[in-house]
């Protein structure tokens, strides 16, 4: 596996001045040779001019957050990262690779979650190239490689977790976004290790049930919320009834037999647990 090695060449400004001087000197020599009719001077000036032009071809510019990968007839020579005007062997090929941080959003993928429910999911991935040699020589197209492997990792993540937790404490896509982001970043990084790419962040940007089951799942969520609310109401009502009976007994305001106590408990629970206001019926006669 090819690893990146640094090769910055030489400073370019001095070499630019040298080859410009040689080029103009060869032009002047050529003019003098033509006017003087000197065949040897003519040949020498042409050779010098060609050498100056070839030397100028060795100049290249490295921009900030950019690298130039240098090759000689297919052989990897090194990577130049030092910004500025540089000079190297004119026969080296130079390919630019951006070292800037990039991001992209995957398409909305339709997959089945752990529970088998079809969902739509998408993610935003932030990444950058850290090893130019691996990015260029270990994979065919590193940008496309990042996109495909990110979508594959996202699909794999979605199939291992449910959309909503079926049991208390269970990891779910909708409720554990931080944990999902960490897991997604780790899986994408593992897949992209050979491509010389570092994943900075990966976060779910879209998560929803598929349209064909969205309405049914919404009713299910509403029913679950109603059941949870009712359970809380019943729990509170039982506590209030218990407290009321305890206070009546302690203060001795009224003595109730088991049948009347059961009726009182039933009436209080109906009043406290009902979803509408109860209409009271006032007993104008005796208690019994």
Tell me: do 54 and 113 sit in the same domain.
Answer: no
Query: What is the number of domains present in the chain?
Result: 3
The highest-confidence range among 192-196, 210-214, 278-282, by mean pLDDT, is 192-196
Which domain covers residue 259, as residue numbers? 218-273
3-state secondary structure the chain: CCCCCECCCEEHHHHHHHHHHHHHHHHHHHHHHHHHCCHHHHHHHHHHHHHHHHHHCCEEEECCCEEEEEEECCEEEEEECCCEEEECCCCCEEEEEECCCEEEECCCEEEECCCCCEEEEEEEEEEEECCHHHHHHCCCCHHHHHHHHHHHHHHHHHHHCCCCCCCCCCCCCCCCHHHHHHHHHHHHHHHHHHHCEEEEEEEEEEEEECHHHHHHHHHHHHHHHHHHHHHHHHHHHHHHHHHHHHHHHHHCCCCCCHHHHHHHHHHHHHHHHCCCCCCCCCCCCCCC
Q: Which of 171, 187, 209 is the last residue of a domain?
A: 209
251-269 residue pLDDT tens: 666 666 667 667 767 766 6
Same domain, 33 and 81: yes
Lowest-pLDDT range of 44-58, 87-101, 113-127, 229-243: 229-243
Residues 121 and 146 in one domain: yes
Query: Does residue 2 form part of some domain?
Result: no
146-175 pLDDT tens trace: 999 999 999 999 999 988 877 777 888 888
pLDDT in tens, 202-261: 999 998 888 776 566 666 666 666 666 677 777 777 777 777 777 767 766 666 666 766
Q: Residue 156's domain is classified under what CATH number?
A: 3.30.479.30
Is the pLDDT score of 79 beyond 90? yes
pTM to 2 decimal places? 0.70
For the chain, the average pLDDT equals: 83
**Per-residue pLDDT at 276 exceeds 90:** no
282 pLDDT more than 60: no
pLDDT at 38: 64
């Amino acid at each position: 596996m090819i690893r990146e090695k640094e090769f910055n060449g030489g400073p370019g400004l001095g070499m630019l001045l040298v080859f410009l001087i040689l080029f103009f000197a060869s032009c002047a020599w050529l003019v003098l040779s033509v006017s003087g009719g000197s065949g040897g001077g003519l040949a020498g000036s042409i050779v010098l001019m060609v050498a100056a032009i070839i030397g100028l071809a060795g100049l290249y510019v490295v921009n900030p957050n950019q690298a130039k990968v240098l090759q000689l007839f297919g052989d990897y020579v090194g990577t130049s990262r030092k910004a500025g005007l540089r000079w190297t062997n004119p026969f080296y090929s130079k390919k630019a690779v951006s070292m800037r941080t990039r991001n992209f959003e995957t398409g909305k993928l339709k997959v089945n979650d752990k529970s088998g429910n079809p969902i739509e999911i998408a993610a935003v991935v932030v990444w950058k190239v850290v090893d130019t040699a691996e990015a260029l020589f270990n994979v065919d197209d590193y940008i496309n490689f990042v996109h495909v492997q990110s979508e594959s990792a996202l699909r794999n993540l979605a199939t291992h977790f449910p959309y909503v937790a079926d049991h208390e404490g269970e990891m779910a896509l909708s409720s554990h976004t931080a944990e999902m982001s960490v897991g997604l970043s780790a899986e994408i990084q593992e897949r992209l290790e050979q491509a010389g790419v570092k994943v900075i962040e990966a976060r779910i940007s879209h998560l929803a049930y598929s349209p064909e089951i969205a309405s049914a799942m919404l009713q299910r969520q509403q029913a679950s919320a109603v059941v949870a609310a009712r359970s809380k109401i019943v729990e509170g009502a039982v506590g209030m009834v218990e407290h009321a009976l305890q206070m009546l007994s302690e203060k001795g305001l009224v003595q109730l037999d088991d049948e009347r106590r059961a009726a009182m408990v039933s009436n209080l629970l109906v009043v406290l647990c009902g979803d509408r206001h109860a209409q009271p019926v006032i007993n104008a006669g005796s208690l019994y």
